[in-house]
Structure 1
Amino acid sequence: MSPTYARRRQALPPLQKLNGSNYKKWKQEIDILLGLLEYDVALREEKPADLTAESTEAEKSFFANWEKTNRLSLLIIQNAMEEHVRGGIKKCDTAKEYLAAISEKYQKSQKVETGNFLSTFTTMKHDGTGSVREHLLKMVDVANKLTTLQIPINDEFIVHMALNSPTPEYEQIKVSYHTQKDIWSVNELISIFCEQEDMLKKGKTVVVNLVDNYKKKHLQR
């Protein structure tokens, strides 16, 4: 490894491997790394024509540089992929074609993945098994994954979906939400549900001013 490569590589955080769900971030990191190393010539320039006896020194130099950057770019890209992902990408002679093949495969799988996450998010229900906090955090996690896949899910929508997902014991929380003007954040919602869960565990089945008490307590902090 040359000193120049080492210095430039140290300027970047560790390169994450493409695992099928992080394409956008991975592609950004690959572009930055190849640009920093000045290997992006192979991405910006088409493959030069084969050299001939009449080729100029400039043409020979460009050909040699392009071949080098293309070969090293391919190695870097392939090394930055999980094995099971790399195995599903067709072999290409150029780094530019290889990145295009990765992008095409990702776009196809992204549609399937997005559909699966949307189906999961809109049908998630708390069946009483496990804590309500765990259930709500799973909903937030799926919403975050959808946002990463360019299907933004805002807090207000998460709150509405979450209010309809728990068991009937939490119905009073939904009633309280719909009868007041305030819009809760996801964190507020989780805290209120957890307080109700604690009350249920203690045998208190009636919610009395649960939301008002929560807000008063947190305003006093």
Structure 2
Amino acid sequence: MFSLKISQKSLMSHQVDLKRNLMLSGSKANKLAMLIIRASVDQTIRGGIPTCETAKELLETIKKQFEGSVRARQYNYLIKLINLKYDDVRQHILKVSQLIIRLRELALQLEDDLMVHFVVASLPSKFNTFKVNYSSQGRK
């Protein structure tokens, strides 16, 4: 049998070297991940992203920025939906439908009944007879 004598100092120095190597490889991976993330972000957005220490922080920062932009787009589409002007029936219904679809894509759910009410309420006065008939019906 072999007898292995390892001094305490030698063992500790090997542990320190091992930890240092692991940290260096982790920092290389982090830098590479940050480079990939920054390269995949559109150039117009890239300038507005603050510098971060880790790739995880960078992803969280980007996520926060896009959450804010989702709310802004939801607001803009709702304003467009509310202020939509009538041109002709077919075009008007298509515009309302497109805005509702965009809002649903942004995780803002609007019921189909509400969509129909938006269309009917935004019709001009020449459709008053239709509006009265629609509102007097008890069915959907």
Same fold (TM over 0.5): yes
Shift of 1:99: 1.3
* Structure whose alpha-carbon radius of gyration is higher: 2
After superposition, residues 63-82 of structure 1 pair within 5 angstroms as: 63-82=23-42
Q: Which moved more, 1:155-164 or 1:100-109?
A: 100-109
- Residues 6-61 of structure 1: CA distance to partner in whole angstroms, max 9, x if unpaired? xxxxxxxxxxxxxxxxxxxxxxxxxxxxxxxxxxxxxxxxxxxxxx975253x355
TM-score (norm 1): 0.48
The structure-2 alpha-carbon separation of the partners of 1:63 and 1:139, relative to structure 1 and needing over 3 Å to count, comes to: same
Residue equivalent to 2:6: none
The structure-2 alpha-carbon separation of the partners of 1:54 and 1:159, relative to structure 1 and needing over 3 Å to count, comes to: same
| Partner amino acid, structure 1, of 2:27 | E
1:144 is the counterpart of 2:101: yes
- Contact kept in structure 1, 2:100 and 2:110, CA below 8 Å: yes
1:160 is the counterpart of 2:117: yes
Residue equivalent to 1:43: none
Q: Give distance in 2, aligned partners of 1:83 and 1:68.
A: 24
Which residue, 50, 58, 73 being the options, matches 1:113? 73
Shift of 1:93: 2.9
Which residue, 75, 94, 104 being the options, matches 2:54? 94
SS of 1:91's equivalent? Answer: coil
| Partner amino acid, structure 2, of 1:73 | A
- Residues 91-121 of structure 1: CA distance to partner in whole angstroms, max 9, x if unpaired? 2232111112112222333333332222222
| Partner amino acid, structure 1, of 2:91 | E
Aligned residues: 128
Shift of 1:74: 1.9
1:180 is the counterpart of 2:140: no
The structure-2 alpha-carbon separation of the partners of 1:135 and 1:87, relative to structure 1 and needing over 3 Å to count, comes to: farther
1:84 is the counterpart of 2:41: no
- Residues 123-144 of structure 1: CA distance to partner in whole angstroms, max 9, x if unpaired? 2121x3xx43222222222222
Q: Give distance in 2, aligned partners of 1:109 and 1:121.
A: 18
Structure 2 unaligned segments of length 5 or more: list them.
1-12
- Contact kept in structure 2, 1:144 and 1:153, CA below 8 Å: no
Q: Give distance in 2, aligned partners of 1:87 and 1:139.
A: 35
The structure-2 alpha-carbon separation of the partners of 1:73 and 1:178, relative to structure 1 and needing over 3 Å to count, comes to: same
Residue equivalent to 1:200: none
TM-score (norm 2): 0.71
> Structure 1 or 2: larger helix share?
2
Q: Give distance in 2, aligned partners of 1:110 and 1:124.
A: 21
The structure-2 alpha-carbon separation of the partners of 1:171 and 1:80, relative to structure 1 and needing over 3 Å to count, comes to: farther
Q: Give distance in 1, aligned partners of 2:100 and 2:44.
A: 26
Which residue, 16, 20, 41 being the options, matches 1:55? 16
